Amino acid sequence: MFIRQYRQEDRKAIERINFETGFMGESMNKLISSPRLWSLGIKHYLDYEPESIFVAEENGQVVGYILGLLEELKTDKKKMMAVSALRNLRFLYSLILEDKIFWLDKLKESIILFIKSLFGRGFKEPKNAGHLHINLLPSVRGKSVGTQLLNRFLEYAKKKGTKIIFANSYQRAENLKDNFWTRNGFKEYSKIKTDFWRLALPGKEIYLVCYVRSL
């Protein structure tokens, strides 16, 4: 297994892995038909801060990745708002043309979370902190590949002067206490029950959890 920094030619592989692992570690093809639209969720990482991306390569193939945002707080706020507005326009396009039931349900849940946050009951993330997102193909899970990727990224983030790093993860009720993040030194920062996956997992308790680690 070889851990290295991202190259532009890795983009399609990362988008493919993102789609194949997006549904609680399983493929999104059970829920939606368009990998292209799902990949909009990681577009900001790939476009804005590619230097903070690392990949795991096995036999010449990318089998996992870690995406990071360490410079986001230094970005001009007006530029960030413009980027967000453009992303929302693309999202509305998806509502009209593809997988409408799925996306409308996700939009509803996002609005609910936003309203809760206005009243101090929403999901919380640490301020002035870096952010990461990680995914692995099923074939390489349980082989410490995720930990190798994470350690490489955390070493990089520390050298960049990052003091706190956080990651958000959807967790089932049964694996909240023993999971990848807590095994790798992260602590729970905030947690909220979510219906984000209610159509695919009816009756299941799913939580959106923010995990934090100091560097």
**CA 215, CA 159: separation in Å to the nearest integer?**
10
DSSP string, 69-131: ESSGGGS-HHHHHHHHHHHHHHHHHHHHHS-HHHHHHHHHHHHHHHHHHHTT-S----SS-EE
Which of 78-87, 171-180, 198-207 holds the top average pLDDT? 198-207
Q: What angle do CA 156, 158, 160 make, to 5 degrees?
A: 75
Q: Contact at 8 Å (CB) between 113 and 192?
A: yes
The answer to which of 20-24, 36-40, 66-70, 79-83 has the lowest mean pLDDT is: 79-83
Q: pLDDT category, 173, cuts 50, 70, 90?
A: confident
Domains of the chain: 2-163 (3.40.630.30)
Residue range 69-97: mean pLDDT, rounded: 54
The pLDDT tens digits for 104-153 are: 777 777 777 767 666 666 778 888 899 999 999 999 998 999 999 999 99
Q: Contact at 8 Å (CB) between 64 and 136?
A: yes
Nearest alpha carbon to residue 26 among 193, 181, 200, 184: 200
What is the number of other CB atoms lying within 10 angstroms of the CB of residue 107?
15
User: Taking the model in full, what pTM does it have?
Assistant: 0.84
Q: Contact at 8 Å (CB) between 128 and 69?
A: no
Q: pLDDT category, 96, cuts 50, 70, 90?
A: low
What's the token pair of residue 91? 């999202």
Distances (CA, A) of 179 to 169, 176, 200: 10, 7, 22
Please enumerate in sequence order all residues whose Cβ is within 8 A of that of 36, keeping only pairs 6 or more positions apart, or say none.
none
**Does the pLDDT of residue 168 top 90, yes or no?**
yes
Q: Contact at 8 Å (CB) between 87 and 106?
A: no
